[in-house]
Structure 1
Amino acid sequence: MPSPPSSSLQKACRLLRALSDARNTRLTDLAGAAGVDKASALRLLETLAAEGLVQRDPDTKAFSPGTEWLALRAAALHRIDPRALARPALIRLAQQFEDTALLSVPSGWESICIELRLGSFPIRANYLDIGSRRPLGVGAGSLALLAALPDAEVEAALQCLAPSLKRYPRISTALLRREVEATRERGYAVLLDVVVERMGGIAVALPDPDGYPLAALSIAALNERISERETALARALRREADAVCTAWAGGVPRPRRRAVPAARAAAPGEALPATPAVPGMPRMSRT
């Protein structure tokens, strides 16, 4: 049980921490969660509101984070280095599937590979190194990042990267629009035989609590090594992504997701249904 707050600064910090829980919007709830009497809580919350850290709805009187708090949060997220959090996941993925596991982050209309672990399979299908840049959508990790953006940002990125696609004759903005839609439907990105012949990748985005993509985990391999193990790869990527995002959020558990059904072989003449989606991929509005 934490000790009662003793100073006004400590009380204000407790109130801000309580406000991070969406259930605490009323003065009574915030005061109770922070261990502060209502009169002091109201005085401090009004001061925080004057500084832009808190805002209060004039009709409902409900409290919520202010613009200055949101700015601080955005700055904090921007300064987090995801490599340390993702390295254990990369090691596990590379060991389990014997192919290259990568971590990519968005930068404008590009993605940058910032970490990777090589697998033991003798044919290295990865065509990226640490520091490699690709237009958003060019590569599985890059596609996962693009698909997780809001629609308006997807369109803006496609306009910016159109000239760069001349280096990739198999990729067009029309193809990327289709792949964005397919990625959102599946819950993960797959690109085979598009960037480099006979090579491909599978990836999931790592979203922040609001669903905005901060990074992507991917596995690069020969086409057949992805297509033959797609469901298992997708399940493992999602599991590792959940673990990284939980650590990113400071240990707050993420909602449990329905498991990806196991793959099975098709009987002669039978057409299997499309690969099931991996739940958890942020769905963006179509506005």
Structure 2
Amino acid sequence: MLRNTLRAESGVPFLSSEQRADPLFINSIARAMQVLAAFHDADRPLSLSDIAERAGVDRSGAQRIVHTLRSLGYIQRDAEDRGFLPGIRIMDHTLDYLRLNPLIQRATPVLLELRRNVQERVDLSLFDGQRVVYAARMQSKRESFYATLVGHSVPTFSSSGGWAIMARLSDEEAMDIIENSDRSPFTPRTLTDPGEIIEEVRRTRARGYSLAVEQILLGEVAIGVAITNPQGRPLGAIHVAGSLSEWTPEEFSTRMAPLALEAARAINHY
């Protein structure tokens, strides 16, 4: 039902038994992608041993893959020679994805207009099973560096966009995501009980948008509205986020939800 090729919410791929048995599947390419994925969530340059452990490959294999990727520009040594980092050639593929993705193409002008209207942070996330991945981030004056980065992901079970996405799925599909997620809380208010989360998903389904208060960040209120394909299946979501120092949740949803819903309709019917 849902793709099972990511390790938890990190985005690190692992090889299923079906993939290993597929005669067209090239295991060496998969291992190279696992090595590149070893940098997900790293907060420093990685040693060869770090890469091997994170990628789930032996040290000898990691050494050969790192050498190959380094010679091609996809991995580089840290400037202070403390270990390895992703190389600049990775950016070429990021650009290709962003410029050729049809959803991002049609969503961008709508999101720019939404950002002008709401004067708060506006994000576009893409649905990837147990996580949602930010593909566009239009910031407010309050944002940190980390919060501005395209490619950052948050769990589907606890994010405003994730609730909006799950509201477009059946309860069975949504519960599958919830129960298979690492439901470690981000804040004291993060919902982690599957029953409470599915009730929030149902409330979202009934009103057409989610309202998440301090689920990912303390002091943040956010609404989410799903983006769907012509069959109504969720592809991603619009997030609009503000500060509880400036808004009550009720005021925020009253002001922002109609604008976000209008933007989602414009993207869905582009």
TM-score, length-scaled by structure 2: 0.56
Structure-2 separation of matches of 1:212 and 1:236: 21
Structure-1 separation of matches of 2:142 and 2:110: 21
Structure-2 separation of matches of 1:183 and 1:152: 16
Residue segments in structure 2 that go unaligned for 5+ positions in a row: 1-99
Query: In structure 2, do the counterparts of structure 1 residues 136 and 128 end up closer, same or farther at CA, with 3 Å as the change threshold?
Result: farther
Is 1:206 the counterpart of 2:231 in the alignment? no
Question: In the alignment, which residue of structure 1 is the partner of 2:163?
Answer: 143
CA RMSD of aligned residues (A): 2.2
Residue number among 261, 264, 268 corresponding to 1:238 in the alignment? 261
| Higher Rg of the two aligned structures | 1
Query: In structure 2, do the counterparts of structure 1 residues 221 and 214 end up closer, same or farther at CA, with 3 Å as the change threshold?
Result: same
Structure-2 separation of matches of 1:235 and 1:195: 23
Is 1:187 the counterpart of 2:225 in the alignment? no
1:1-287 equivalences under 5 Å are 80-119=101-140, 122-124=141-143, 127=147, 129-161=149-181, 163-167=182-186, 169=188, 170-172=190-192, 173-223=194-244, 224-225=246-247, 227-247=250-270
- Equivalent position SS for 2:158: coil
Maintained 8 Å contact 1:113/1:128? no
Maintained 8 Å contact 2:213/2:220? yes
Structure-2 separation of matches of 1:138 and 1:155: 13
- Following superposition, the deviation at residue 88 of structure 1 comes to 1.1
- Following superposition, the deviation at residue 174 of structure 1 comes to 2.9
- Equivalent position SS for 2:161: helix
- Following superposition, the deviation at residue 97 of structure 1 comes to 1.4
- Equivalent position SS for 1:165: coil
Structure-1 separation of matches of 2:250 and 2:148: 20
- Following superposition, the deviation at residue 203 of structure 1 comes to 1.3
- Following superposition, the deviation at residue 166 of structure 1 comes to 4.7
Maintained 8 Å contact 2:186/2:217? no
- Following superposition, the deviation at residue 80 of structure 1 comes to 4.7
- Following superposition, the deviation at residue 128 of structure 1 comes to 6.2
Maintained 8 Å contact 2:127/2:235? yes
- Following superposition, the deviation at residue 177 of structure 1 comes to 1.3
Q: Deviations over 1:127-146 (max 9, x none)?
A: 46311111113221122112
Structure-2 separation of matches of 1:123 and 1:133: 19
